[in-house]
């Protein structure tokens, strides 16, 4: 059993034991790359403009849109 706890690297809120890479200021939670999604996109977030999670979500959406446009 791994009892090592690194306070500088918290684990993912959904995957205990997996190191988190992102932090959600709105929900005060840490997430890993796999969980990179806004917990509640419809809820107003005062940190959104600076939110790395939201930024990546937007990038993903843009990529999808561009993919679609490229096919048409
Ligand atoms: Zn996770």
Predicted local confidence at residue 43, as pLDDT: 85
Q: How is the chain split among helix, strand and coil, in percent rounded to 5?
A: 35, 10, 55
Q: How far is the CA of 30 from the centre of ligand 1 (A)?
A: 8
Q: Where are the domains of the chain?
A: 1-72
CA of 17 to the centre of ligand 1 (A): 9
Residue 10 Cα to ligand 1 midpoint, Å, equals 11
Asked if 25 and 51 touch (Cβ cutoff 8 Å), the reply is yes
State residue 27's pLDDT score: 86
CA 65 to ligand 1 center in whole angstroms: 26
Dmax over Cα atoms in the chain, in whole Å? Answer: 53
What pLDDT is stored for residue 19 in this prediction?
A: 92
Instruction: Provide the pLDDT for residue 50.
Output: 86
Residues of the chain where predicted confidence (pLDDT) is lower than 50: none
- Report the predicted TM-score, pTM, of the whole model to 2 decimal places: 0.61
């Amino acid at each position: 059993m791994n009892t090592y706890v690194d306070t500088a690297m918290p684990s993912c809120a959904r995957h205990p034991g997996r190191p988190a890479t992102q932090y959600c200021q709105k929900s005060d939670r840490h997430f890993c790359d796999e969980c990179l999604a806004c917990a509640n996109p419809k809820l107003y977030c005062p940190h959104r403009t600076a939110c790395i999670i939201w930024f990546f979500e937007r990038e993903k959406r843009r990529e999808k849109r561009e993919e679609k446009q490229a096919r048409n």
